[in-house]
Amino acid sequence: TPVTPAPISELAPPVTALIPPEVTEGGVVTEASPPTREPLEKPKSAEQAKEDEKFQEGNEGPSSARMTDRSDNHHFAHRSSSRRGRRGRSGPPPVKQEEHRTNGYSPKAGPTISELLREGQEILVQVSKEPLGKKGARITSHIALPGRYLVYMPTVDHVGVSRKIASDEERSRLKRIIHEHRNGLPGGFIVRTAAEGRSEDEFVQDIRFLGNLWSDIRTKSEKKSAPALIHRDLNLVQRLLRDQLSPDYRAIRLDNEAEFATVLDFVNKFQPALVNRVKLHLKDTPIFEEYGLNLEIEKALRSKVWLKSGGYIVINQTEALVAIDVNTGKFVGKSNRLEDTIVRTNVDAVHEIVRQIRLRNLGGIIVVDFIDMEEKKNRQRVMAALEEAIRADRSPSKTLQFNDFGLVAITRKRTQPSLERILCRPCTYCNGTGWAKSPETICYEIQQEIRKMMHLVEGKEITVRVNPEIAKALKSGEFVSLNDLEDWTKKDIVVKSDPLLQEEHFDIF
């Protein structure tokens, strides 16, 4: 990673700059940052790169950034800002192992932060994870630039192949092509799943494109001072086209003329054979309504999802994890054995669970509570179906076997908020709990409040203004006896309905 020296002033206060809110995964920024309290990690070796190889494909579109850091002997210190960039796992710019030894440190111990960075120094960093909730964006000094078939990593000397490419012969062919055509380009490459079976010429074009892109980024970084945006990755539409577009797609439809022209030009450069499939939507009917997308989005925000068999799954997102519960529902099956019905429902649920995980962009820890199965072979059948279904997911994930409680845990890399967190906000009525007090609870609260206030209300009458549903519950006497309250307070109690009041709100006067 290139560094640009900057003047140091001992009297100048530490500089703190926030990542601009528009810079998310896909942008490049230069940032001035205070130290964080996370311990420094050594640069990635080839062995570590191999271990991380399966994660690289899921981290394909972050941004690059430059950052000015204040140095501390062993740590970065993180100051209070909920949107400030946080240092990722990868640590500072790579330093050769020989340099460690010349400073008297063994390779195992590694250098201190003061040997790697100095106050006022500018370094190139990349946004590897968008801000989530109160957590700031995660940044890394190990740049990863995605292309159509390759991910180029200038700071890692390693060539790897996606684990989803199983053929040893194909893996060897892909590595050979990279080594033959990199033409002295430093750094490493990860061969993406989409590269399987592709021609040599396509790789040459991708290598040349990524090499030129890295050269442009370095040139721009030397001309700007931190904090500054150096490079922004492709936008959402272009990333989808780059990663997903294939001859299997019949059409690409857009309802915006400017975006249509941009996409037309993009497809013409990357896959000219498919340029005639880019269509402009000219009908009066909105494009989402025309293709039923509004209904699909609405379904994707519901907690209950029905299965074709008649069973259903319930999806609940919490701060700690995502819980998914599987139920038989209306499905009774054709077999006399209950176990067969349960297995059929669980296998049916597997495909819908993976679809919903991708559709809703669920990440982190996902716990699935399948219907209990007694036979071990049936649990193995469900696990095999789950592992096969989740293999098509582009985000790095790991599936754990059934535990003693019949639960299956899935971990899935999360770089962006889920669909629910993007499209929705916490309910202002229940403050995001999803629950409201029952009429019984509210009636008892009113009773307690009347007893507390009876000496403060002048006259012979106490008026209670409530929501119509609560008024009905009070007058029924099912939960609270108004006659007993009148005997207690020695006052008449009048209940008035007000449809403008929420159920939990009431007035006593």
Residue 4 lies in a domain: no
Domain match, 97 and 44 both = yes
Instruction: Tell which of 231, 251, 266 closes a domain.
Output: 231
Across 51-129, the runs of DSSP E, i.e. the strands, are 63-69, 86-87, 122-129
Tokens 């579109």 found at: 61
Rounded distance between C-alpha atoms, residue 30 and residue 467, angstroms: 55
Across 10-24, 127-141, 282-296, the highest mean pLDDT is recorded for 282-296
Q: How many structural domains does the chain have?
A: 4
Residue 10 lies in a domain: no
Res. 100 pLDDT band, cuts 50 70 90: very low
Domain match, 98 and 201 both = yes
Rounded distance between C-alpha atoms, residue 31 and residue 121, angstroms: 11
Which CATH number belongs to the domain containing residue 494 in this structure? 3.40.1260.20
Tokens 């200038």 found at: 154
Domain match, 396 and 467 both = no
Helix (H, G, I), strand (E, B) or coil at 145: strand
Instruction: Tell which of 390, 423, 456 closes a domain.
Output: 423
DSSP letter for each residue of 264-325: HHHHHHH-GGGGGGEEE--SSS-HHHHTTHHHHHHHHT-SEEE-TTS-EEEEEE-SS-EEEE
Residue 292 lies in a domain: no
Domain match, 102 and 202 both = yes
Which CATH number belongs to the domain containing residue 341 in this structure? 3.40.630
Is residue 35 pLDDT above 80, yes or no?
A: no
Kindly report, residue by residue over 231-245, the tens digit of the pLDDT: 888 888 888 888 778
The pLDDT > 90 percentage for the chain reads: 20
Mean pLDDT, to the nearest integer, of 375-387? Answer: 92
Supply the mean pLDDT for the chain: 77
Domain match, 104 and 199 both = yes
Sign of the alpha-carbon torsion through 65, 71, 74, 79:
negative
Domain match, 217 and 245 both = no
Is residue 87 pLDDT above 60, yes or no?
A: no
Q: What tokens does 118 get?
A: 């100095």
Domain match, 455 and 486 both = yes
The pLDDT, as a whole number, for residue 1 is: 35
Domain match, 258 and 114 both = no
The pLDDT, as a whole number, for residue 336 is: 59
Sign of the alpha-carbon torsion through 470, 472, 476, 482:
positive
Domain match, 242 and 371 both = no
Is residue 248 pLDDT above 70, yes or no?
A: yes
- Which of 75-84, 420-429, 457-466 shows the lowest per-residue confidence on average (mean pLDDT)? 75-84
Domain match, 88 and 215 both = yes
Mean pLDDT, to the nearest integer, of 356-382? Answer: 92
Residue 12 lies in a domain: no
Kindly report, residue by residue over 162-176, the tens digit of the pLDDT: 888 888 888 899 999
Going by the DSSP 8-state scheme, the letter that residue 450 receives in this structure is H
Between residues 112 and 69, the one the model is more confident about: 112
Which residues are CB-neighbours of 149 under 8 A, at least 6 positions away? 191, 192, 194, 195, 198, 202, 203, 206
Domain match, 184 and 270 both = no
| pTM, entire model | 0.61
Instruction: Tell which of 368, 389, 423 closes a domain.
Output: 423
Rounded distance between C-alpha atoms, residue 223 and residue 207, angstroms: 25
Rounded distance between C-alpha atoms, residue 59 and residue 195, angstroms: 17
Residue 450 lies in a domain: yes
Which residues are CB-neighbours of 178 under 8 A, at least 6 positions away? 150, 159, 189, 191, 203, 207
Domain match, 368 and 448 both = no
Residue pair 125/67 in contact by the 8 Å Cβ criterion: yes
Is residue 368 pLDDT above 80, yes or no?
A: yes
Range of the domain at 261: 236-282
